[in-house]
Structure 1
Amino acid sequence: MVLWLVFALMMGAAILAVLWPLSRPLSVGGPSTGEKSFVKDQIREIERDVARGFLSPAEKDVAIAEVGRRFLKAVANEPSKSPAQGELALRRRRAASAVALSMIPLVSLAFYSLRGSPHLPAAPFSDRLADTAQMDLQQAVGRVEAHLANAPEDGRGWTILAPIYMRMGRSDDAVRAYTASIRLEGDNAARRAGLAEAQVMSSGGLVTADALENFKAALKLEPKLPKARYYVALAAEQDGRVAEALSLFRELRGDAGQDDPWVPTVDTHIAKLQRNAPAEAIARLPDAERDEAIRGMVAGLAARLEADGGSIEDWVRLVRSQIVLGARAEALAALTKARERFKDDETALARLAPLADALQSSSDKLP
Structure 2
Amino acid sequence: MIWFLIAALASLVALVLVLPVMRGVRGDVSDGRAVFDGQLAELARDRELGFIDEDAARQAELDIRRRMSQAGTGDAAALAPPAPASKWLRHGLVGGAGVSVILAVIIYMLIGSPFLVGMTPARAPELPPEAQAVMAELENLRNELAERPDNPQGWAVLGQAYLRMGRYGDAATAFETAINWEPGSAFLFAALGQARLFETGGIMSAAAREAFARALDIDPLDVRARFFMAEAVYQDGDREAALASWQAILDSAAPDAAYRGMVEARIAAALADGEAAALSGDEIEP
Q: TM-score, normalising length from structure 2?
A: 0.49
- Which structure: larger Rg? 1
Which has the bigger relative contact order, CA under 8 A and spacing at least 6? 2
